[in-house]
Structure 1
Amino acid sequence: MDLQLSGSRVLVTGGTRGIGRAIVEAFLDEGATVGFCGRTADAVSATEEALGDRGAVTGTVVDVGDGEALAAWVDASAAAFGGLDSVVANVSALAIPDTEENWQLSLNVDVMHTVRLVRAALPHLERSPAPSIIAISSVSGRESDFASGPYGTAKTAIIGYISGLALQLADKGIRANTVSPGNTYFEGGVWASIETGNPDLYRTAVGLNPTGHMGTPQEVAAPVVFLASPVASRISGTNLVVDGALTRGIQL
């Protein structure tokens, strides 16, 4: 299937590893021009160099918790690309323990970085022939689990925010969707850390997966890119759960 993304202009927050990097790679494979950001210069430059042969990609050091820096990156990228067609809010603070600091961190990084990215991108998306907004939430935003608290609540808020955006922006032709991954394993990721640091929790989590294993970043990236594409032109306001049947609630 041709996703009609060749030449499209895309921004992804947190594109140096894990799900974010897989999303960048998937867009590049479809012929898109991609800008991504990350917190550390070494990770950004290494990712940009590694993906340079894959397509047109630009990495920038940005702390998405800094609203002004995030908006400046969006505007500079739009100017360099000649506009924007899609934005993907991927960064999470992964602040799970129930502390005051983690509540503040989750609200500022997970929720407000999504809001600020959208606000900065909207003037550019309004000029796109096929504009799309995608936010990465989590199954922890859909049902209660061990990550309920700062992390899970922030992920629930993201789903609600994006659903509202879909309604508010429909008359402008701007689509907005959420993708909620289940357990996703990659080296250097949270589940790799839990595997060694809390093996009992890791075994329990794997045991809850009906497939018998956790997902991969690539398995999350593929539906993200599909939802961003013009092929998905009638899909807006949805929360696409990518979890291998991990969650059992009926999504009405």
Structure 2
Amino acid sequence: MRVDLAGQVFAVTGAAQGIGAAICHALTGAGATVAALDIDATGMAGLEVASHHTADLGTREGAQQALTEVAEEHGRIDGLVCSAGGVRGQVGRPIEEIREDDWRAIFAANVDAAMWCAQAVAPGMKARGYGRIVTISSGAGLRPSLTGIQAYASAKHALVGLTRQLALELGPSGITVNSVAPGFVLSNPSTEKQWEAFGPEKQQSVLNGIHTRRLGRPEDIAAAVCFLAAPQAEWISGQVLSVDGGHA
């Protein structure tokens, strides 16, 4: 199946590195006009897309301002990919050691940003009777997290819930809302740090639990996003697509 997104405008959050950057490349390769959004302007500098937008998307004001800027520059937003998130540099620790700011930082990046970005693009999509929203959740949104980070597992479960609720609400307006749930992907310094923290024995255990016996690549996730963004996926909504090499 050839995915043709020519003439469509996509906003991609968390675009500065890893999975977000790979999604930008894949959507651009499919012909879409891509606006990249991230709090890290330096990280986006080498990204070859239609436009770069620096913003803190974890606040309603930041998300509204950034996506209004995208719509004004490109005329509209046909699709939104919420890839911002991650563990914010944290590693697994006992519950007694977790501070309030640790918890809130992960929720702001993974859940709040998706909510406020979806809120920002929904009116325009409703008016046109068409839209694609894809969130990047995680296997940690479907089961306990390998990271051991309580806030990360909780936030990704919440993101799956938000995805399904938005699919129900926005479906009558011609807007599909789905999620891609990656397995373990070495995509940025945080995931590399987490992988190293596992140690050789746990690393091998993780690999043994994957049917294909390899970790994921950012491109694996980007390919799934392109499929859900395609016109051919118009009758798929409220779904969570696990892209994890097969989970034993």
TM-score by length of 1: 0.88
Aligned residues: 239
Report sequence identity in percent.
Answer: 28
Measure how far apart 1:198 and its partner are: 3.9
What residue in structure 1 maps to residue 180 of structure 2? Answer: 179
Aligned equivalent of 2:130: 130
Measure how far apart 1:96 and its partner are: 4.9
Match in the other structure for 1:28: 28
How far off its partner does 1:126 sit? 1.7
The 3-state SS of whatever aligns with 1:145 is coil
Where do 5+ consecutive residues of structure 2 fail to align?
A: none
After TM superposition, the runs of 4+ consecutive aligned structure 1 residues lying more than 4 A away are: none
- Once the two structures are TM-superposed, the CA of residue 72 in structure 1 deviates from its matched residue by 0.5
Q: Distance in 2 between matches of 1:154 and 1:215?
A: 21
Question: Which residue is equivalent to 1:75?
Answer: 68
Q: What is the distance in 1 between the residues matched to 2:169 and 2:244?
A: 28
1:16 paired residue number? 16
> RMSD across aligned C-alpha pairs, in angstroms?
1.8
Which AA in structure 2 matches 1:62? A
Q: CA separation of 1:104/1:191 partners in 2, compared to 1, >3 Å: closer, same or farther? A: closer
> Partners in 2 of 1:127 and 1:28 — Cα distance?
25
2:84 and 2:76 map into 1 onto residues whose CA distance is: 22
* 8 Å contact from structure 1 (residues 3, 229) kept in 2: yes
Note the C-alpha offset of 1:192: 2.2
1:131-189 CA distance string (max 9 Å, x none) = 11111000011012333510011101111111111111111111100110001123x44
Task: Letter of the 1:235 partner, please give it.
Answer: I
Give the corresponding residue for 1:147.
Answer: 147
Distance 2:183 2:43 in 1: 25
Distance 1:60 1:199 in 2: 37
Asked if 1:202 is matched to 2:203, the reply is yes
Counterpart for residue 214 of structure 2: 213
Whether contact under 8 Å (1:87, 1:132) holds in the other structure is: yes
Partners in 2 of 1:81 and 1:233 — Cα distance? 23
